[in-house]
């Protein structure tokens, strides 16, 4: 069966913050230079934003660089973060802790990340990017020299037995001079690239957590737009890495969720059940009483940090965003670093394609990343997550960026602000 071929200069796989920022920056550069550059982006969700877990505290640093006039362009950043709260929960009570430096959200916004992606997609299309939602890249294509030459989308209309049905449609081959993978955490094609090009040689293994998130519409009298609550402690046991977040968006909506490191040792622990228990705690349950859950989801989250970042480039392409692992773990924020890595990759890819070079590898990208604020930010916190087990052992619970020896009975945990950063 032959597949249709669509040729592009650059194909971007994945329509999250990283992929969209990559595509936008490529076209910004090409348009500014008056050059033709055919860029397409494919997204496996039915529409851009469909696979994004909505509700996030967003640091606008990368967006400020990508679109300094984002306010005038109507970017959906409507709720400034106003009130940071950091709680330690016991089974029946809670007490407020000083907010760790990484968790200060002054200047940030509580947003729907899905809406931001939809807005970014509009900007990308206006700049001339072809966006194809509803198509998953299922296979990486290579040339005879072993360089990546694009991706193929999956065949449609294949029966359970693997045989074509009456609705069979073969996938499409998207050919490109450079293919940029922005698949998010644990990208399926990215994993094959790790193997093929030994991209993880010499770096620490990636580690993962699970993030569960729910969007709620709550009683307007309980809603305080801009309020942020993070918690550690109950219902987690002391040796389990995890904590909650609860953000008040606009329109009487809150987003609530729980992140648990997947290195937990209790085989009976169910992250979903722990999250449900958390919502019954007296410090937060009133928010949900009389409210309505609008949507929910869960997905993996990278926890390896800077030392787990793989080699980012290979012949014919590169990795950007969470598929490479740029999440700032103690902040639980990765959209800004995802966007910035995409922008840096786009600059390097554009320069490579515009040059006379015969190289197929955009090596200027990792070099630029190394001197960027992404590297500075991730290096500064690189020891916080690994120190949870290695330095302090069982009996201590580390929450985002602070360490609590929870053998001490509340209200007197000893809080150790990390000195092992940098």
Query: 395 in the Ramachandran plot: left (φ > 0), alpha (ψ -120 to 50) or beta?
Result: left
Nearest distance in Å: CB 407, ligand FAD: 29
Query: 17 in the Ramachandran plot: left (φ > 0), alpha (ψ -120 to 50) or beta?
Result: alpha
What sign for the dihedral angle of Cα 295, 288, 250, 76? negative
Q: Which is nearer to ligand FAD, 58 or 197 (CB)?
A: 58
Nearest distance in Å: CB 358, ligand FAD: 29
| C-alpha–C-alpha distance, residues 416 and 67, integer Å | 39
Nearest distance in Å: CB 409, ligand FAD: 31
Q: Which is nearer to ligand FAD, 179 or 335 (CB)?
A: 335
Nearest distance in Å: CB 96, ligand FAD: 20
| C-alpha–C-alpha distance, residues 350 and 218, integer Å | 46
Q: Which is nearer to ligand FAD, 209 or 413 (CB)?
A: 209
Nearest distance in Å: CB 174, ligand FAD: 11
Q: Which is nearer to ligand FAD, 24 or 396 (CB)?
A: 24
Bridge partner list, 295: 215
Give residues in contact with ligand FAD (CB under 6 A): 13-19, 42-45, 51-53, 56-58, 113, 136-137, 182-184, 187-189, 211, 213, 257, 259, 299, 301, 321-323, 327, 332-336, 338
Q: Which is nearer to ligand FAD, 29 or 51 (CB)?
A: 51
Whether 26 and 342 have beta carbons less than 8 Å apart is answered as no
| C-alpha–C-alpha distance, residues 128 and 386, integer Å | 43
Nearest distance in Å: CB 285, ligand FAD: 20
Please give the DSSP secondary-structure letter assigned to residue 312: -
Q: Which is nearer to ligand FAD, 255 or 396 (CB)?
A: 255
Q: Which is nearer to ligand FAD, 182 or 218 (CB)?
A: 182
42 φ, ψ (degrees, to nearest 5):
-115, 145
Nearest distance in Å: CB 357, ligand FAD: 27
Please report how many Cα atoms fall inside a 13 Å half-sphere around the Cα of residue 335, on the Cβ side: 25
Rg of the chain on CA atoms, in Å: 22
Mapped onto helix, strand or coil, the DSSP state of residue 12 is: strand
Nearest distance in Å: CB 163, ligand FAD: 24
Q: Which is nearer to ligand FAD, 10 or 259 (CB)?
A: 259
| C-alpha–C-alpha distance, residues 383 and 381, integer Å | 6
| C-alpha–C-alpha distance, residues 381 and 418, integer Å | 9
| C-alpha–C-alpha distance, residues 406 and 304, integer Å | 24
Bridge partner list, 110: 57, 79
368 φ, ψ (degrees, to nearest 5):
-70, -35
Please give the DSSP secondary-structure letter assigned to residue 50: T
Give me the count of residues in the chain: 422
Nearest to 413 by CA among 230, 233, 228, 229: 233
Cα–Cα distances in Å, from 183 out to 33, 41, 93, 353? 28, 11, 40, 23
Nearest distance in Å: CB 2, ligand FAD: 22
Nearest distance in Å: CB 209, ligand FAD: 8
Q: Which is nearer to ligand FAD, 296 or 392 (CB)?
A: 296
Q: Which is nearer to ligand FAD, 211 or 317 (CB)?
A: 211
């Amino acid at each position: 069966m032959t597949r249709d071929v669509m040729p592009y200069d650059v194909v971007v796989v994945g329509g999250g913050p990283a992929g969209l920022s990559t595509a936008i920056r490529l076209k910004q550069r090409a348009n500014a230079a008056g050059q033709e550059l055919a860029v397409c982006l494919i997204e496996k969700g039915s529409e851009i934003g469909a696979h994004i877990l909505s509700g996030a505290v967003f640091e606008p640093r990368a967006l400020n660089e990508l679109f300094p006039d984002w306010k005038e362009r109507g970017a959906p950043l409507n709720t400034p973060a106003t009130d940071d709260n950091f709680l330690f929960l016991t089974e029946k009570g809670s007490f407020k802790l000083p907010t760790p430096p990484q968790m200060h959200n002054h200047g940030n916004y509580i947003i729907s990340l899905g809406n931001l992606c939809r807005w970014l997609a509009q900007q990308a299309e206006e700049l001339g990017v072809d966006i194809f939602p509803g198509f998953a890249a299922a296979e990486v294509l290579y040339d005879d020299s072993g360089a990546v030459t694009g991706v193929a989308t999956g065949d449609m209309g294949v029966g359970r037995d693997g045989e074509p049905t009456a609705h069979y449609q073969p996938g499409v081959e998207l050919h490109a001079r450079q293919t940029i993978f922005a698949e998010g955490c644990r990208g399926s094609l990215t994993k094959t690239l790790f193997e093929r090009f030994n991209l993880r040689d010499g770096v620490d293994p990636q580690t993962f957590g699970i993030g569960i998130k729910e969007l709620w519409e709550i009683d307007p009298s309980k809603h305080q737009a801009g309020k942020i609550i993070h918690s550690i402690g109950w219902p987690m046991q002391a040796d389990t890495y995890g904590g909650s977040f609860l953000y008040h968006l606009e329109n009487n909506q809150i987003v609530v969720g729980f992140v648990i490191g997947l290195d937990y040792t209790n085989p009976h622990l169910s992250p979903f059940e722990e999250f449900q228990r958390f919502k019954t705690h007296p410090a937060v349950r009133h928010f949900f009483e009389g409210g309505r859950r609008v949507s929910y989801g869960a997905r993996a989250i990278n926890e390896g940090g800077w030392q787990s970042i793989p080699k980012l480039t290979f012949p014919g392409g590169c990795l950007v965003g969470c598929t490479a692992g740029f999440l700032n773990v103690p902040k639980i924020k990765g959209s800004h670093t995802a966007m910035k890595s995409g922008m840096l990759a786009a600059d390097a890819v554009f320069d490579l394609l515009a040059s006379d070079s015969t190289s197929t590898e955009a090596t200027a990208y990792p070099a630029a990343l190394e001197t960027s604020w992404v590297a500075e930010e991730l290096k500064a916190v690189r020891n916080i997550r690994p120190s949870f087990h290695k330095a302090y052992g069982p009996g201590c619970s580390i929450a985002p960026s602070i360490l609590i020896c929870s053998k001490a009975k509340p209200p007197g945990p000893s809080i150790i602000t990390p000195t092992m950063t940098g």
